[in-house]
Structure 1
């Protein structure tokens, strides 16, 4: 029952490769149903964020991983051979460990950041909604979520509010010493933008504009942080008012182009603009970064900023890795146990049939008027003989054939003393 994780992330691929294999929310239904139709694939889930795209699969024993990798490339019209150098491919215990590390924030750009756990829960929910989860992936995700909670509770991995959004705000503070004097334009209304809004307010910013494709979502977030809400089409009219622009949408095309930013800079009389593009694919055209008076950063650029916040977390991460290792083995134990479930069920069924047969005979004897003590003796002796006959016969044959390993296994399974002649 191989569990497999195939993916690409910020460690293995640059942004211009990662953005080519992103699954937008509106693609998930179609993508999951295409993926689950691959030969030999029993269960599937897809995680797609700005920093990673991962396929979680349960394959039949003999099913190869190649078709899954080929599908990922073909779905995004990306040459599979060109994609392979950037991919990782984990199986069984390695796949389980990776999933738990992702959920715990140990594989994130910002060590220990909690946002990825919510994203993984969303991926789990979407796969469950579309019926592509089964017994094994469902159990794996639930186990990963529980371990992530354990890690966050029992270590200092989440002791400070570190995330990509926090890193963006930290960088803004380096550009503008006093955020209370600045105005922010937040494009999008998802979790990343919500986090950025909270961090900005926590660092003194009081004026903000929220732009989103859906005005209702923009208004909801704007009300929470005391900001103004607009639609994406209104951005050109207010862009020049923004000192800080943070964008994170699921748009397949850029939201801001070089021309619009040039006009805003002229209206601002060349006062600097700080722009952070947290979206994959990018919301802001890369050419914007060539403009004077514009400081444009992408998610990859944040690595330098977040590195400053990681040093204090390494000790906690070491402790967290020990938890992950132990819980990976715990899950693998459960997984191995599933291989003998049918064997255990068959053994119990046979024992119960034997019990019922002997019990029926004993009840018939009682009905015929035989003394209860005699019937109880018959029941105990007959049941004991029937339940022990086959195992003892097998042990006798094993001893005659010199199969010492089977005898040793019997000692362990049946909890028998090594020397039965001893009292």
Structure 2
């Protein structure tokens, strides 16, 4: 039987400097999964990597984390000591509960945020598309998505959820009282930037510039964010010549290297005559060099800075959280029953194989008798009698011995097993 093991780090256990080293980009995730399943003795695997967490969900013959931890250390370049300080691991039932809580938004920086569910689905689809998942993880993630849907349907946590993107826009509103009058530069075209663009549109921002490696994706997002706003799509190479126009910069790409350096921001500030710039870096690894925070007239925030934002619906969400935890606890029990049922599968297969061997042996004897001219009715009677006696022999012997030993539990189990 496979054990489920989850190993990871998140915004609560690791600073951004560690998280960005442990992050897996879309270009590396396939190779990482292949390497993990081949070199770390993992039968099934899925890697969830977002700006706030990196988690490895595994199905393996034991619940030992040693080889997986060693693999992550080697793959990320983080030494074992740094990982030990930041890593958490959950075996079996605890892993199942953790998966349910993550998908439901209960383990997010902003309680109840819905974005993580989509990211989890993408992670599972990526793993399953290359054959990295199997019976156990397939069942786990399908059950996880069902639980998350139930939590959002049956509790108020979905109605009151706030995404990281929404929190970022609210933070910008604290700095610029008239957000609608600002020019915004969005770098990237993924789900996070799409959510930011949606919130900017709701705040009636009039001018949005979208920069992306793929100009086609940038144009698609620009059209979606349109309406009354003036939207432009540019390439990443055009950022330096347009950066000084931006009052607000929000960036979230999968780049392994910074998109914006200190020099580029300094040049933009000079052209802006040191008019303030608000920069929100939602990427892990970071898109903006940390040294940019040293510049005057720049308000630089990362995903970790959003921890300090006030949760206006905290009490309501906490009530919803209690309901959600009850749903999750019930569903964990349900899933673990299925896991335990897998233990009976080898016994059932062996039992059926034994019966099949018995059937084949007796059938061959009966066919041989018929071939030798035996009376068909008598041969069939003998076949039925021999099958009955041989099937009942071993259980009868065990029950007799149980009676002698006074073992009532075996007798009780037999009554239930054979519906006596």
State the 1:409 CA deviation: 2.7
The correspondence for 1:392, drawn from 386, 396, 406, is 396
Q: What TM-score results when the alignment is normalised by the length of structure 2? A: 0.90
- Hey, what does 2:114 align to over in structure 1? 114
SS in 2 for 1:81: helix
- Hey, what does 2:35 align to over in structure 1? 34
Contact 1:362 1:376 in 2 (8 A): no
Q: 2:175 and 2:92 mapped to 1: Cα distance?
A: 46
State the 1:312 CA deviation: 2.1
Q: 1:55 and 1:91 mapped to 2: Cα distance?
A: 12
The correspondence for 2:304, drawn from 296, 300, 303, is 300
Deviates more, 1:26-35 or 1:259-268: 259-268
Q: What TM-score results when the alignment is normalised by the length of structure 1? A: 0.90
- Hey, what does 2:5 align to over in structure 1? 4
- Structure 2: runs of 5 or more not aligned: none
Q: 2:396 and 2:65 mapped to 1: Cα distance?
A: 45
Contact 1:167 1:306 in 2 (8 A): no
State the 1:136 CA deviation: 1.2
- Hey, what does 1:88 align to over in structure 2? 88
* Match status 1:207 vs 2:211: no
Quick one: structure 1 residues 197 and 306, their matched pair in 2 at CA, closer, same or farther if it must change by over 3 Å? farther
Q: 1:39 and 1:349 mapped to 2: Cα distance?
A: 34
- Hey, what does 2:331 align to over in structure 1? 327
Quick one: structure 1 residues 232 and 350, their matched pair in 2 at CA, closer, same or farther if it must change by over 3 Å? same
- Hey, what does 1:101 align to over in structure 2? 101
Q: 2:52 and 2:282 mapped to 1: Cα distance?
A: 9
* Match status 1:127 vs 2:131: no
Quick one: structure 1 residues 161 and 210, their matched pair in 2 at CA, closer, same or farther if it must change by over 3 Å? farther
Contact 1:362 1:379 in 2 (8 A): no
Contact 1:43 1:134 in 2 (8 A): yes
Q: How does 1:13-412 map to 2 (within 5 A)?
A: 13-61=14-62, 64-160=64-160, 162-226=162-226, 227-305=231-309, 307-351=311-355, 384-412=388-416
Q: 1:210 and 1:103 mapped to 2: Cα distance?
A: 29
Q: 2:161 and 2:399 mapped to 1: Cα distance?
A: 62
- Hey, what does 1:419 align to over in structure 2? none
SS in 1 for 2:5: strand
Contact 2:160 2:313 in 1 (8 A): no
- Structure 1: runs of 5 or more not aligned: 417-423
SS in 2 for 1:307: coil
Q: 1:364 and 1:319 mapped to 2: Cα distance?
A: 68
Quick one: structure 1 residues 29 and 330, their matched pair in 2 at CA, closer, same or farther if it must change by over 3 Å? same
C-alpha RMSD of matched pairs (Å):
2.5
What is the aligned length? 413
In the TM superposition, what whole-angstrom CA distance separates every residue of 1:16-47 from its partner, at most 9, and x where no partner exists? 11111111111112211211122532111111
Quick one: structure 1 residues 39 and 181, their matched pair in 2 at CA, closer, same or farther if it must change by over 3 Å? closer
State the 1:356 CA deviation: 6.9
